Amino acid sequence: MISTLEKEITFRYLKTRKKDGFLNVISIFSFIGISLGVAVLIIVMSVMNGFRNELIDKIVGFNAHVTVDPYEKQIDSSKLNNENLKLISKDLIFSSSGEAVLLNKDFTKGIVLRGYKTSDFAKLQIISNKNFVGDKNNLKKNNISIGKELSFSLNLKIGDKISVMSSTGIETVIGNLPKQQTFIINSIFDSGFSEFDHNVAFININILEDFFDLDQSSRNLEIYLKNPSDIEKSKNIIQSIFKDQFIYTWSDMNRSLFSALKVERNVMFIILSLIIIVAAFNIISGLTILVKNKTREIAILKSIGVLNKSITKIFFLVGVIIGTSATLFGIILGVAFSMYIEKIRIFLSTVFNITLFPEEIYFLSKMPTEINFFSILIISICSILVTSIVSIFPAIKASKLDPVKSLKYE
């Protein structure tokens, strides 16, 4: 427990005085350093979390959450009625794919063709978003849907015709020749990822299977989950249903990317935590000088019967209050900055005519942010813990002063 005397003396030492000018400067810099350290940590963690979640949304938007590959054995359609599968899935879609070459005048380009039924094609997230242009209910015959980036680079629009060459061939009198077919562009999609938009196109699944000499037994099952973030648990459930098939998820396909993001976030946390540690060590300097300035007062307190543990508490509380108040101020500053970071980015870009967040590099049109209260809690605890630890040494040193020697030399 903290006595009334200890509280009064603690708050008295926290008040600024003219004769404590240099001490006040150290205390102010300690406060500012800890506050900025906490604020920067919160901002960086918020941006990293936002970037990760935005990236997940983009990836999940154009990839199936879970894909069941049939290997050599066709997927058993009766398993689609499994109760556990129905509980976790939102849509179950059969698809097929193949690699082809797109021919347009003097331009050739490798492309991945994905095949869907017209009814399933309309269910895809990138087709149902507001950036989709064209008819999503008409993926029939020789119609094809291409990405926005591909349409820009080849100067294509809805209604134009393009030729596509298959990787499989047909036997003719002059030998084996690759299949070639003309498709009409009936829609243009925008996934938000330039690489995907530039390299993937959609056609009817029956046309695709004929184009690549595939049969229905080779079709993949794409599973779209109600909760795609809980991917590992869902994968285990699906694996138990389709025991003879190969199961992979959006997380498996992008494991290296998200591992790199996780490592980067952890490294940033460690590096930026050093700001708080360095600032916290200023508290040691400030408290040591405070002890030196208050030597006579400490001696008088001891001579009137104040215990050593009370002296320790007083100087320890001074350090903890500085650290805690600085942490709280840093939290307010960091959260406020994180909430308005996009407006701040736009303001700085406009004033200084610079691009702070290039879309072509980060694949995102705006700076993402997500305030995670668990991260803020961890940062706050670490900051207060560090400032509390560094306050112990000068507090113990103050309690060990000899009152007789202190009064003699004063």
Note whether residue 252 is domain-resident.
no
Please indicate, yes or no, whether residues 309 and 345 belong to a single structural domain of this protein.
yes
Q: Is residue 259's pLDDT more than 80?
A: no
SS3 per residue for the chain: CCCHHHHHHHHHHHCCCHHHHHHHHHHHHHHHHHHHHHHHHHHHHHHHHHHHHHHHHHHHHHCCCEEEECCCCCCCHHHHHCHHHHHHEEEEEEEEEEEEEEEECCEEEEEEEEEECHHHHCCCHHHHCCCCEECCCCCCCCEEEEEHHHHHHCCCCCCCEEEEEEEEEEEECCEEEEEEEEEEEEEEECCCCHHHHHHEEEEEHHHHHHHCCCCHHHCEEEEEECCCCCHHHHHHHHHHHCCCCEEEEHHHHCHHHHHHHHHHHHHHHHHHHHHHHHHHHHHHHHHHHHHHHCHHHHHHHHHCCCCHHHHHHHHHHHHHHHHHHHHHHHHHHHHHHHHCHHHHHHHHHHHHCCCCCCHHHHCCCCCCCCCCHHHHHHHHHHHHHHHHHHHHHHHHHHHCCCHHHHHHHC
φ, ψ of residue 156 to 5 degrees: the values are -110, 150
Please indicate, yes or no, whether residues 344 and 202 belong to a single structural domain of this protein.
no
What pLDDT digit, counting tens, does each position of 365-392 carry? 567 778 888 888 888 888 888 888 878 8
Nearest to 8 by CA among 245, 333, 215, 313: 313
Question: Domain of 343?
Answer: 4-56+257-409
Single residue among 244, 277, 294 that ends a domain in this structure: 244
Q: Is residue 286's pLDDT more than 80?
A: no
Mean pLDDT for all residues in the chain: 79
Q: 6-15, 59-68, 182-191, 335-344: lowest mean pLDDT where?
A: 6-15
pTM of the shown model? 0.66
What pLDDT digit, counting tens, does each position of 319-348 carry? 888 888 888 998 999 888 888 887 877 777
Please indicate, yes or no, whether residues 285 and 232 belong to a single structural domain of this protein.
no
Please indicate, yes or no, whether residues 327 and 224 belong to a single structural domain of this protein.
no
pLDDT, position 223: 87
Please indicate, yes or no, whether residues 238 and 319 belong to a single structural domain of this protein.
no
Single residue among 244, 275, 299 that ends a domain in this structure: 244
Q: Which residue has the higher pLDDT, 143 or 278?
A: 143
Note whether residue 249 is domain-resident.
no
Quick one: tokens of 150?
């591909």
Please indicate, yes or no, whether residues 212 and 330 belong to a single structural domain of this protein.
no
Please indicate, yes or no, whether residues 32 and 81 belong to a single structural domain of this protein.
no
Note whether residue 167 is domain-resident.
yes
Note whether residue 393 is domain-resident.
yes
Single residue among 199, 215, 244 that ends a domain in this structure: 244
pLDDT band for 91, please (50, 70, 90 cuts).
confident
Please indicate, yes or no, whether residues 379 and 261 belong to a single structural domain of this protein.
yes
Note whether residue 138 is domain-resident.
yes
CA-to-CA distance for 315 and 321, rounded, in angstroms? 10
Q: 61-65, 66-70, 99-103: lowest mean pLDDT where?
A: 61-65
Please indicate, yes or no, whether residues 48 and 81 belong to a single structural domain of this protein.
no
Structural domain total, the chain: 2
Please indicate, yes or no, whether residues 184 and 86 belong to a single structural domain of this protein.
yes
